[in-house]
Amino acid sequence: LFAAIMKRFNTTGTCRPNEHYMVDITERLEIIRKMIAQGDYFCINRGRQYGKTTTLEAVSKQLSDEYCIFKISFEGVDDSAFENARTACAVFLQLLKRKARWSILSEEIKRFLDEAIPREMESIKEIDFADIIAELCSLSSNPIVVLIDEVDQAGNNDGFIKFLGVLRNMYLDRDTTPTFQSVILA
């Protein structure tokens, strides 16, 4: 019984406060909350095992009442997925669709994603991507925040850089076209 309640150090993934020793990240979470409220798109950049994934998990839990949170990861995504902007956008949409399937999002949003994102993604172009995101954001009753973990898995690919350019263009047009409230890359 004693061993079952003892905390331990975790160096293999997300830390859970009731199971693992953790640094207090309350101040960090408040800074992130303010950045999201301002509509910032930003990166959390640290070395391995510095708590990036744990921080994203805490943000997701803490803000899920105010925002529609999509927490996805590029870990395990094949390099070919980022060979060009079209495939990078398609993979991103597939990850959103998969996350929606298992979330508490409205049935309207789940149905939209099922219908808007075909299984065969070759037909998706950057303009389709922007239209799908705009429609998704307009359907959501809460602003959408996207948390993308393990972006370094895609960072060396030209398609990923172009994908970021598409996100940036949507960010710049946010006054006239619905888009994400915030995007956090870790």
Q: Grade residue 4 by pLDDT with cuts at 50, 70 and 90.
A: low
**pTM above threshold 0.75:** yes
CA 186: distance to chain centroid? Answer: 9
Number of C-alpha atoms within 13 angstroms, CB side, residue 143? 14
Q: Is 166 within 8 Å of 90 (Cβ atoms)? A: no
The predicted model gives 11-16 an average pLDDT of 72
Average pLDDT over residues 152-165: 84
**What average pLDDT does this structure show over 168-176?**
94
pLDDT by residue (tens digit) across 25-66?
889 999 999 999 999 999 998 877 677 888 898 899 999 999
**pLDDT of 1 higher than 70:** no
Q: Give residue for tokens 């995007």.
A: 183
pLDDT, mean over the chain: 85
pLDDT in tens, 117-156: 766 566 666 668 889 999 999 999 999 999 999 988 787 7
Predicted local distance difference test score (pLDDT) of residue 154 = 80
Phi (first) and psi of residue 41, to 5 degrees:
-110, 125
